[in-house]
Amino acid sequence: MGKTTSSSGGKQGLGWMEWLRGWLYVIYEMLFQRISASHLQNPLPLPPLHDLTCIITGSTSGIGLQIARQLAEAGAHVVMAVRNSKAANDLIQKWQSEWSGKGLPLNIEVMELDLLSLDSVARFCEAWNARSAPLHVLINNAGIFSIGEPQKFSKDGYEEHMQVNHLAPALLSILLLPSLIRGSPSRIVNVNSVMHYIGFVDTEDMNVVSGKRKYTSLVGYSSSKLAQVQFSSVLHKRLPAEAGVSVVCVSPGVVQTNVARDLPRIVQAAYHLIPYFIFTPQEGSRSALFAATDPQIPEYCEMLKADEWPVSAFISQDCNPTNPSEEAHNIETSYRVWEKTLELIGLPLDSVERLIEGEEVKCRYGGQAEE
């Protein structure tokens, strides 16, 4: 925190009131999520989804695993986009045998994707787009929160939370636009977090290395989640209604998953002791499933586009639309995050417009880059 504006007038951090309000949101969600979501069924009932093709990143554990399984059981063609193909194939085998006798075999496949490598992301998109098949739902679920660990960088040179939680999903979303437009009406669902309320993105220091802010995993995580909301806001504003692609961020709630695997043992033990407050992964999957399937979402997104503030739809853990943080409403920063992100992921600034026109866009990463 500290000084909140630079001499040039640019903001350098959250004001203390914003920071305090942010923490209140986080604490409120932790304590009251079960009460505020008490109207929801568990699992969330889904309509038949036989006409949908859905890509879900990070579907080998936690929330993503639940999303993949439930979408597949509702009849969708599910693509598990994962870095551990063996784990995904083992899961498919298990789900198929548990499902046998209840209907047609589940329509699930595995494709390899490592978000710590932007080459891997670009290659994944090249492979998917080469099918010339429609894509109806992309769920950017995979994420990391390396609590208490020292700062780490991907081989692309980016701070790992920023890369896995924001930059790589941003590249995936843009490069898959041709398939999403083919599948329109379609949706990009970003599994975000209430933690974005305490995040701040310094576009001059996305890697948090300048020393202006002390790096902690909380800074890395919350900034990456805010960057995703800000980027999503500009993306949704840039996509014309005719493209038919809705962009939604969701908060899953506080969920008992492997995300806690890096916590100190004693904190992990405490985590297990408070099951009343913490959602199961199935409960945590409801907001993403709602955003992926509720029929009113496209209309809601279009309504938001007409707003003075171009902020993307944000669905809370109780499946109600909510306002993202004050900082997410900062248009100036959101556009800076948009431009900086495109620069870091190696795409031209007019990528979205060109892809909508059906033109090719060259990316610094992936097979194209080597031609």
Ligand X SMILES: NC(=O)c1ccc[n+]([C@@H]2O[C@H](COP(=O)([O-])OP(=O)(O)OC[C@H]3O[C@@H](n4cnc5c(N)ncnc54)[C@H](OP(=O)(O)O)[C@@H]3O)[C@@H](O)[C@H]2O)c1
Active site residues: 221
Residue 56 or 106: which CB sits closer to ligand X?
56
Residues 51-70 that bind ligand X (CB under 6 A): 57-58, 60-64
Could you tell me which stretch among 16-24, 112-120, 202-210, 352-360 binds ligand X (CB under 6 A)? 112-120
Contact characters 294-313, ligand X, x per CB under 6 A: --------------------
**Least distance from C-beta 63 to ligand X, angstroms?**
4
Residue 55, beta-bridge partner list: 79, 138
Determine if 169 is a binding residue for ligand X (CB under 6 A). no
Which residue, among 353, 243, 249, 349, has the nearest Cα to 292 in the 3D structure?
Answer: 249
Rounded Cα distance, 222 and 232, in Å: 15
Determine if 324 is a binding residue for ligand X (CB under 6 A). no
**Least distance from C-beta 113 to ligand X, angstroms?**
6
Instruction: Among 114, 202, 283, 318, indicate the residue that binds ligand X (CB under 6 A).
Output: 114
Instruction: Among 4, 84, 107, 184, indicate the residue that binds ligand X (CB under 6 A).
Output: 84
Number of residues that bind ligand X (CB under 6 A): 28
223-226, Cβ contacts within 8 angstroms, sequence gap of 24 or more:
223/161, 223/162, 223/199, 224/161, 224/162, 224/164, 224/165, 224/166, 224/199, 225/165, 225/166, 225/192, 225/193, 225/195, 225/196, 225/199, 226/196, 226/199, 226/200, 226/201, 226/325, 226/327, 226/328
**Least distance from C-beta 356 to ligand X, angstroms?**
27
Determine if 366 is a binding residue for ligand X (CB under 6 A). no
Determine if 193 is a binding residue for ligand X (CB under 6 A). yes
Determine if 115 is a binding residue for ligand X (CB under 6 A). yes
59-98 core/surface letters (b: 16 or more CB in 10 A; e: else): bbbbbbbbbbbbbbbbbbbbbbbbbbeebbbebbeebeee
Instruction: Among 122, 137, 176, 255, indicate the residue that binds ligand X (CB under 6 A).
Output: 255
- How is residue 198 written in tokens? 């305490």
Residue 61 or 232: which CB sits closer to ligand X?
61
- Given a contact cutoff of 8 angstroms between Cβ atoms, the answer to whether 290 and 67 are in contact is no
Residue ranges that bind ligand X, judged by CB under 6 A = 57-58, 60-64, 82-84, 113-116, 141-145, 164, 191, 193, 252, 254-255, 257-259
